[in-house]
Chains A and B, each alone.
Chain A
Amino acid sequence: MGQLLLGAHLIHPNKKRRGIELVNLTLGYERRPAVHHLNGTIAPGTALAVCGPNGAGKSTLLKALAGLLTPIGGRIDYDSPDPRAIAYLPQLIEIDRSFPIDVKDFIALGALRRIGLFGGLTAGECDGVERAIHRVGLSGLEHRPIATLSGGQMQRVLFARLIMQNEPVILLDEPFGAIDEATTEHLLNLIVQWCAEGRIVITVLHDLELARRVFAQTLLLARHCIAWGSTQEVLTKENLQKARAMSEAYDADARECLLDEAIVHDH
C-alpha cells in the first residue's frame, strides 16, 4: 500500500500554483459559528482527509470551499482564474434519485461548465462520457435510469461525473458512507490517480483506517483545528481523544443553552 501514499511532498511537473490557502477562516450558519479560525495550505496534488466527530464542521468546511457558503470571518485564497473550477460531491441524499434520467445523461452533466446551459454536447464530450463510464466500471449500464441503481452504482455514477468535470480541485463529502468494499477500493484508486495528476482531493471521512491508508494529509476538526499535517502524526490516540472531548464539551454547552431557554419560558 506504500505506493498509495500521496501528499504535499509529491512534486508535480507543472506545479506553479500555490493551491488553496485558508486564512483565519471562520464559518457558520446564521450567527452560529461551526468552524473557528482555521489556517493552512493545501498544495496541488494533495490528498487531504478531513476527520472529526459529528457536528465538527467538516461538511460546512467543504461547502465553503465549494463556494456555497460565505465565510463569517477570514478568507479562502484559491489561485484560480475561476473560483468555480471546483468539483463538489455532497452527501448522496441531496440528489433526487427518482428523477427520470439515465446514467449517460447524468454523467454528461459534468460537462456543464464547459458547454454552458445552452451549448450542445460535442462528440468529444460524448467520448468523454463513455470513457468516464468505463473508468468507474459501469459499462453496459449507460441507459439505465438512475432510480434503478444501487447505492454503490450511484456513487460510481457520481464519481464519473466528477471525472467529466475535470477540475483541479475535488471535494468529496463522505463518499464511502454506505458503499461496499469493492466499490470503495475502485473509487479510492480514482482518488489516487487524481492526486497523481496534480489535483487537490479533499475528502470528509469517518473511516480512519482509510485515511491512514490512502490520504497523506489529514485535518482533524472539532470546530477548531485539533491537528493538521501528515496523517500518521495527526491521527494519534491523544489527538482523537482531544477531538472527542471537545465535541462533548460543545454538546454540554448546547444542552445548557436549551435549559436556559426552557427556564425563561417557564417564568
Chain B
Amino acid sequence: MKRSSMITDVFIAPFVEYEFMRRALVGSVALAMSGAPLGVFLILRRMSLAGDALSHAILPGAAVGYLIAGLSLPAMTLGGLIAGLIIAFATGLAARFTTLREDASLAAFYLVSLSLGVTLVSMRGSNVDLLHILFGSVIGLDNSALFMLVGVSTFTLLALALFYRAFVIDTLDPIFLRQTTRISAIVPFLFLALVVLNLVAGFHALGTLMAVGLIMLPAAAARLWSSQLVVVLPLAAAIGVVSAYAGLVFSNETGAPTGPAIILIAGICYFASLFFGRAGGILRLRRPSSHLEG
C-alpha cells in the first residue's frame, strides 16, 4: 500500500494538486504531438539542422514584439511568426536564385537574425527577460498561451493529414511532384511554415532553444525503430508525449528547470534508440546476420 501511494505521489499527485502542472502537461503534450511528426519530415528531408536555425531566426521578431509591447504573448508570437516566415521564405528564394545552397543561406540568415535578436533584447530588457525568451517557462502557461499551443497543434496535425501525400512525394522524389502536379512550388514553403508555426508556439512553453529539441529528438528516436512512415510518425509523437510527461515529473521531483528536463528525457529516449533501435540501431547493425540498407 505504501509503495503504491509513493508512486501516486510522484506520478499523479502533482498534476492533481497543482493547476500549473496540468497546464504545463497539456501545453507540452500538444507541442509534442504536432512537432515530432514535423521533425520526422525534417530528418527525411535532410534538414535536421534547419529546425535549429529557424528557431534562432524567430528571436528578433519576438524581440521586436517584446520591445513594442513588453512580455505580451500575442505581440511576441506575431513578431516571431513574421521573422520565422521571412527567413524561411528568403532562404528558399536565395537557394533558388543564387549559387549558394539552401543550408548555407539558412546558416547566414539565422546567424544574422540571432545576433539582431540578442541586440534588440539587450537594448531594453534585462538578462532575466532574455533567459525567459530563450528557455521559456512551461510552468507559467496562461490561458491564451495554452489555447495557442493547442490550436497550433490541431492546425498542424490537420495540415499534415491533408498534405501528407504532397509532403511525402516532395521529400522522396521532388522531380516527380514537380512534373505531375501544379502546386509543387508551394509545398516546401508550406512545410517550413508549419515548422515555424510550431517553433513559435513552442518558444513560450519551452523557449526557442528547447522547442526544436521536442521536435527533433523524438523524431530521430522513432526513425531508429521502423522503416515505415505510418509507424514512425505516430511513434515520434508518442515518444514526444512520454518525454513531456516524464520530464515534468522529473522536474517536479528534482526542481530541475522544466524545459531542459523534458528535452533531457527525450534525449535519453534517443540514446536508447541509438543502441536498441530495430531499424538502424547500433546493436542491430552490428549483428552480422542482418542485411539492411547497404
* Interface residues, chain A, with chain B CB atoms under 8 Å away: 66-68, 84, 86, 88, 90, 94-96, 98-102, 106, 109, 112-113, 116-118, 145, 147-148, 165
Residues 129 to 164 of chain B near chain A (Cβ within 8 Å): 162-163
Interface stretch among B29-37, B56-64, B167-175, B251-259? B167-175
Q: Which residue of the partner chain A has the closest CB to B165?
A: A117
Q: In the complex, what distance in Å separates the CA atom of A98 from the CA atom of B44?
A: 8
Q: Using Cβ atoms and an 8 Å threshold, which residues of chain A touch B172?
A: 95-96, 99, 101, 106
Q: Using Cβ atoms and an 8 Å threshold, which residues of chain A touch B173?
A: 94-96, 109
Q: Give min CB distance, B231 to chain A, whole Å.
A: 8
Q: Using Cβ atoms and an 8 Å threshold, which residues of chain B touch A102?
A: 228
Contact B229 A117 (CB under 8 A): no
Contact B229 A100 (CB under 8 A): yes
Given contacts A117-B165, A118-B165, contact A148 B171 (CB under 8 A): no
Count A-B pairs with CB separation below 8 Å: 64
Which of B169, B173, B183 counts the most chain A CB atoms within 10 A?
A: B173
Q: Which residue of the partner chain B has the closest CB to A84?
A: B180
Give 20 A-B pairs besides A101-B168, A101-B229 with Cβ atoms closer than 8 angstroms. Answer: A66-B179, A68-B175, A68-B179, A88-B176, A96-B44, A100-B228, A100-B232, A102-B228, A106-B172, A109-B169, A109-B176, A112-B165, A112-B176, A112-B180, A117-B163, A117-B165, A118-B162, A118-B165, A145-B293, A147-B293
Annotate B62-97 by CB proximity to A: 1 below 8 A, 0 otherwise. Answer: 000000000000000000000000000000000000
The verdict on B4 contacting chain A, using a C-beta distance below 8 Å, is no
Contact B183 A117 (CB under 8 A): yes
Given contacts A96-B171, A117-B165, A118-B165, contact A84 B179 (CB under 8 A): yes
Annotate B183-211 by CB proximity to A: 1 below 8 A, 0 otherwise. Answer: 10000000000000000000000000000
Which of B165, B172, B181, B292 counts the most chain A CB atoms within 10 A?
A: B172
Annotate B265-294 by CB proximity to A: 1 below 8 A, 0 otherwise. Answer: 000000000000000000000000001110
